[in-house]
């Protein structure tokens, strides 16, 4: 399999909105740079349609009086180069009080909770604000939750599930609708020697058990859609850490959760993103 590499120069404050659009259109991963982003797509994608999305994005910004100076080009890269490309953009990063996320080819850090992540084709290296926020909140609330059952909804690389396991949660489940994410998460569970973490493919409707903590780093629209199912899968007194919410969209999510009986406990902003902690 080969990949498309799209180099997009963008100097607009709406860069994160563009990343979100590309992710929704099937982008496998993004490397952020000072003057833009590099986005990867599978070769099966219709690259002309993606170019169309970007042009439309630019046109909408221009029209709304926010001229953006976006330019882009793409090239095809063969499979063998894929991992090398990722390696260049992926280094160890400290998060919160105790976590370090690192790729398998870097040395573990002493006195930290090391989480080894080989991103493969999944989202969740810890470099994105939303993953980072989830980890900070996970660490902050771990001692307040009894550390019993934990669900990572939309597990991606498995990073949050592995973190929960290393923090001492008794039973950790990760689910994802994307088979490539499931494959990546399983590999990372092996790398971290956390075999008790159970990963499966699917969504909330496939799960029968309820949890003390649910982490869901999705996007606002999906969080709103899933509010009722999410509340149903939380134990009474349980908390949900919700992320992937762009600044300005948090009230919709808070309202949807409130309707389901979940109370806001904390708002945690990071850059253009906001994460929420809600309690049943
Ligand atoms: N938890 C990781 C990855 C978040 S990316 C982190 O915090 O970094 C979001 C993931 O959710 C993607 O892997 C996507 O495939 C998955 N996903 C999206 N909608 C979903 C749904 N309705 N149910 C389960 N997984 C979903």
Mutating to test ligand 1, I would choose from 218, 226, 233 the residue with most ligand atoms within 8 A of its C-beta, which is 218
Q: Whose CA is nearest to atom 23 of ligand 1?
A: 203
Label residue 189 exposed, middle or buried (CB < 10 Å: 0-12, 13-18, 19+). buried
To test the ligand 1 pocket, which listed residue (130, 135, 176) has its Cβ within 8 A of the most ligand atoms? 176
pLDDT along the chain (280 residues), means of 10: 85 86 85 85 87 90 84 81 64 93 89 88 74 96 93 96 98 94 94 96 95 95 96 97 93 98 97 94
pLDDT tens-digit readout, 97-111: 999 999 888 899 999
* pLDDT, tens digit (0-9, with 9 covering 90-100), for 199-238: 999 999 999 999 999 999 998 899 999 999 999 999 999 9
- Ligand 1, atom nearest to 155 Cα: 1
Distance (angstroms) between ligand 1 centre and the Cα of 64 equals 31
| Atom of ligand 1 at shortest range from CA of 202 | 24
CA distance 46 to 25: 10
CB 135 within 8 A of CB 99: yes
The CA 88 to ligand 1 mean position distance, Å, reads 24
Whole-model pTM?
Answer: 0.76
Ligand 1 close to Cβ of residue 126 (< 6 A): no
3-state secondary structure of 240: strand
Rounded Cα–Cα distance for residues 16 and 271 (Å): 10
C-alpha–C-alpha distance, residues 206 and 105, integer Å: 35
Phi/psi at 62 (5° precision) = -55, -45
Contact 175, 122 (CB under 8 A): no
| Neighbouring C-beta atoms of residue 254, cutoff 10 Å | 19
Instruction: Work out the number of other CB atoms within 10 angstroms of the CB of residue 85.
Output: 16
């Amino acid at each position: 399999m080969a990949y498309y590499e799209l180099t997009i120069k963008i100097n607009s404050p709406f860069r994160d909105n563009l990343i979100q659009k590309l992710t929704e259109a099937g982008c496998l991963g993004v490397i952020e740079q000072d003057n833009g982003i590099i986005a990867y797509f599978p070769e099966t994608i219709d690259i002309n349609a993606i170019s169309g999305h970007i042009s439309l994005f630019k046109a909408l910004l221009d029209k709304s009086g926010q001229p953006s100076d976006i330019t882009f080009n793409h090239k095809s890269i063969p499979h063998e180069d894929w991992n090398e490309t990722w390696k260049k953009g992926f280094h160890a990063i400290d998060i919160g009080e105790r976590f370090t996320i690192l790729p398998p080819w870097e040395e573990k850090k002493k006195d930290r909770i090391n989480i080894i992540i080989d991103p493969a084709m999944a989202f969740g290296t810890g470099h994105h604000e939303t993953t980072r926020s989830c980890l900070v909140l996970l660490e902050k609330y771990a001692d307040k939750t009894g550390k019993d059952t934990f669900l990572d909804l939309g597990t991606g690389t498995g990073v949050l599930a592995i973190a929960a396991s290393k923090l001492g949660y008794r039973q950790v489940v990760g689910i994802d609708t994307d088979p490539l994410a499931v494959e990546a998460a399983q590999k990372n569970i092996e790398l971290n020697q956390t075999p008790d973490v159970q990963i499966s493919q699917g969504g909330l409707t496939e799960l029968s058990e309820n949890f003390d903590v649910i982490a869901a780093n999705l996007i606002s629209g999906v969080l709103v859609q899933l509010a009722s199912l999410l509340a149903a899968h939380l134990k009474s007194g349980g908390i949900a850490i919700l992320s992937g919410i762009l600044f300005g969209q948090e009230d919709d999510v808070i309202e949807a959760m409130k309707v389901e009986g979940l109370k806001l406990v904390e708002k945690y902003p990071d850059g253009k993103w906001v994460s929420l902690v809600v309690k049943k």
